[in-house]
C-alpha cells in the first residue's frame, strides 16, 4: 500500500495550521475500518506529529470495535481516540461529543465521518448525513472544515482494510459551513453541506483516474 501525492497535501495542511488558530474539523469519506489512520498519515508524517502533537486529529471510533477492553481503551486514548458506543445511551454519546468539542475549542484537531459509518454503496451518500458533525460545527464559532476524500485505486466498495499493494489518492477542500436554521435542522444542513463537498471531490477523483 502506498500513498500518491502526500507531499502536496501535507504542505497544504501545514500552511493552514500555521496561518489559523481557530477550531478545525477534518471530515472524510468512509470506506475502510482504518480510514482515520490513513487520513492522518496523508496529512502529516509521524515525525511531524511528534513535533506538532495538536495537529494529529482526535477521532471517535466505535467502542465495541476498537476499545472493548480496558487495555484497548487506554491504548485508544493514547492514540487520540474518544470511543463512542454506536447506538448507546444518549447521555454517554453526548458526553463524548462534549469532550471532543472541548478539545477542538482549545486548539486540537478533530476528525469525523459525516456519513456516520462506512458507505455501503462505496460512494459518498449525501442522504445519509449524520447530525453529529453539524452539531459539532455549530458549537464552535468560526470552525473550519477540511474535507478529505481518500480512496484506493482498487477500492470498489467498503471493506475492512485497503487492498494489499493498493495506491491511495486523496483530495482536499476547505469549507466553513453555516446554517441559519437552529436545532436538528441546522445540524443536518451543515452535515449535508460537508457531504456535498465530499461528493464533489469524489467526482473529481473519478474524473482524474478515468
Q: What is the pLDDT of residues 54-87, one digit of tens each?
A: 999 999 887 665 555 665 665 666 678 888 777 6
Q: What percent of the chain has pLDDT over 70?
A: 91
User: Rounded to an integer, what distance in angstroms lies between the CA atom of residue 138 and that of residue 140?
Assistant: 5
Query: Coil, strand, or helix at residue 150?
Result: strand
pLDDT band at 98 (very low <50, low <70, confident <90, very high): very high
Map out the domains of the chain with their CATH numbers: 2-151 (3.40.1130.10)
pLDDT of residue 150 exceeding 80: yes
Q: For residue 32, is pLDDT > 80?
A: yes
Res 27 pLDDT > 70 = yes
User: What is the average pLDDT score of the chain?
Assistant: 90
Residue 175's φ and ψ, nearest 5 degrees, are -150, 140
Neighbours of 55 (CB within 10 A): 19
pTM of the model as a whole: 0.92
Q: 93-97, 170-174, 206-210: which has the highest mean pLDDT?
A: 170-174
Q: State the pLDDT confidence band at 175, using cuts at 50, 70 and 90.
A: very high
Burial of 58 (0-12, 13-18, 19+ CB in 10 A): buried
With b for 16 or more beta-carbon neighbours within 10 A and e for fewer, the 84-96 pattern comes to: beeeeeeeebeeb
pLDDT at residue 89 in the model: 74
For strand 167-175 and strand 144-152, is the pairing parallel, antiparallel, or unpaired?
Answer: antiparallel
pLDDT surpassing 70 at residue 181 = yes
Angle among Cα 170, 135, 45 to the nearest 5 degrees reads 30
* Number of other residues whose CB lies within 10 A of the CB of residue 177: 22
User: Does residue 1 register a pLDDT over 80?
Assistant: yes
Q: What's the CA gap between 29 and 200, in Å, rounded? A: 12
Question: pLDDT value at position 40?
Answer: 96
Amino acid at each position: 500500500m502506498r500513498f500518491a501525492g502526500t507531499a502536496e497535501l501535507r504542505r497544504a495542511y501545514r500552511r493552514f495550521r500555521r496561518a489559523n488558530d481557530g477550531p478545525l474539523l477534518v471530515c472524510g469519506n468512509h470506506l475502510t475500518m482504518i480510514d482515520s489512520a490513513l487520513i492522518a498519515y496523508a496529512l502529516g508524517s509521524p515525525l511531524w506529529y511528534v513535533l506538532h502533537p495538536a495537529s494529529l486529529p482526535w477521532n471517535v471510533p466505535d467502542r465495541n470495535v476498537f476499545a472493548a477492553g480496558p487495555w484497548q481503551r487506554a491504548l485508544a486514548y493514547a492514540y487520540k481516540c474518544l470511543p463512542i458506543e454506536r447506538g448507546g445511551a444518549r447521555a454517554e454519546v453526548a458526553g463524548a461529543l462534549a469532550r471532543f468539542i472541548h478539545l477542538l475549542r482549545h486548539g486540537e484537531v478533530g476528525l469525523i465521518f459525516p456519513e456516520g459509518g462506512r458507505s455501503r454503496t462505496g460512494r459518498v451518500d449525501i442522504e445519509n448525513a449524520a447530525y453529529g458533525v453539524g452539531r459539532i460545527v455549530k458549537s464552535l464559532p468560526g470552525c473550519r472544515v477540511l474535507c478529505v476524500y481518500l480512496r484506493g485505486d482498487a477500492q470498489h466498495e467498503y471493506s475492512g482494510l485497503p487492498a494489499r499493494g493498493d495506491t491511495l489518492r486523496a483530495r482536499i477542500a476547505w469549507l466553513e459551513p453555516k446554517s441559519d436554521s437552529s436545532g436538528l435542522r441546522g445540524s443536518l444542513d451543515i452535515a449535508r453541506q460537508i457531504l456535498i463537498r465530499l461528493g464533489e471531490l469524489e467526482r473529481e477523483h473519478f474524473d482524474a483516474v478515468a
